Amino acid sequence: MSPRHNHARAAWRGIVVVGVAALVLGGCNSSVARTHVTGLPSIGISVPLHTVACTTTGSCLALGTTGTDTAPSSVGEYRENNGQWSSLVVPSAPSSVITSASCWSTGCLIGGEQSSGSLLWGYNASSQSINSLRAPAGGLGIRALSCFGASTCAAVLTTGFTSTSEMTFTNDGGATWSTPIAIAWSLGDTVSGLACTDPLNCMTSATTASSSLVVEVTHDGGNTWDQRITPSPWLSLSSITCAKLHCVGLAQTATSTSLVRTSTFGRLWRTVPLGVQANALACSTIAHCVIGGQQHTDSPWLATLDNFKVSVTVLKYVPSPVIDIACATKICAGIGVSTVLALRP
């Protein structure tokens, strides 16, 4: 990296928190400190970033693929404890798309699709390294991942539009996987959301061929499912995060995005309209989250959620919409296609 590039990144580095009157959505009338967040240009600017992930202990990484077979086909960087982002060596990923990532305290799994089938990478936070792993058998791609314990995760596999999706579990960080279980209700549906609180209880969201939303929950590890009724305007439910019976997510209608939450594992929902296009939500706890997206002018937008009060942040050097968010216990990270950023949740 050239001295000029180092100087440019240093000039953009840092998070500054100052106290001013906050713009708070969702009916909150109290005054809180408003957060200022400064973005940094990504290292591999020729490859767009797509996914960000954080271990619960605060090791964050940002990844991207081009989706083509032209080199370079992938890029990665990780956030050091001092706040600096450094280059991360990632496997070559020609004609690949990363669709999901989920972490525990010491590592992450990254899933996606490639020309030969499912893509699966493992991230080791202690060595800041990524390795290719053998993907679960039988799938054409990994649609969603949800880690809920040390090296313990669930995955939803796509098997084609004429077949049902499948669910499988690992308890060794992706080295081995359980025999996939067919998700009987998913024939013809695209499952894109998954949140598991333990090996038995999971919530999924899917889009049907007619572009309607399906939300289903399981209490026996995917063997049987119960459909949850959602408000009719909802077209999708994404960024689902659950702790016991409590879940939050982002619901998209034809005209808007809302923060939605439930304390009954999806039986009843409460809605907070956001007034913007929100692309991603991530939480350090179920009541402390960060939401990223864009305003109707396509300018970037970022907000924090504190006990279900939404406070908009001030962004600097973030030239494009925030497309993904991930949170550890004490730090959250976000990305645009060519930008990385971090803030306290």
pLDDT of residue 20: 27
* pTM greater than 0.75: yes
How far lies 341's CA from each of 100, 139, 316, in Å?
Answer: 19, 34, 10
| Rounded Cα gap, residues 190 and 52, in angstroms | 22
| Rounded Cα gap, residues 173 and 34, in angstroms | 38
pLDDT of residue 17: 30
Strand pairing category for 213-218 and 226-228: antiparallel
Bridge partners, residue 316, by sequence:
38
Residues near 86 by beta carbon (within 8 Å), at least 6 away in sequence: 43, 77, 78, 80, 128
Q: Which helix (H) or strand (E) element contains residue 109?
A: strand 107-114
Contact between 165 and 121 under an 8 Å Cβ cutoff? The reply is no
The list of the chain residues with pLDDT below 70 reads 1-34
Which residue carries 């969201």 as its tokens? 205
Distance of CA 172 to the CA centre of its chain: 22
Which phi-psi region, left, alpha or beta, contains residue 125 (left: φ > 0; alpha: ψ -120 to 50)? alpha
| Rounded Cα gap, residues 167 and 145, in angstroms | 10
For the stretch 17-54, pLDDT in tens is 322 223 233 333 333 446 899 999 999 888 999 999 99
DSSP designation for 9: H
How far lies 24's CA from each of 28, 247, 312, in Å?
Answer: 6, 22, 6
| Rounded Cα gap, residues 219 and 188, in angstroms | 23
DSSP designation for 184: G
Residues near 251 by beta carbon (within 8 Å), at least 6 away in sequence: 230, 231, 234, 236, 237, 257, 258, 260, 269, 271
Cis peptide before 321 (omega within 30 of 0): no
Which residue carries 């989250």 as its tokens? 289
pLDDT of residue 9: 40
pLDDT of residue 34: 67
| Rounded Cα gap, residues 267 and 191, in angstroms | 19
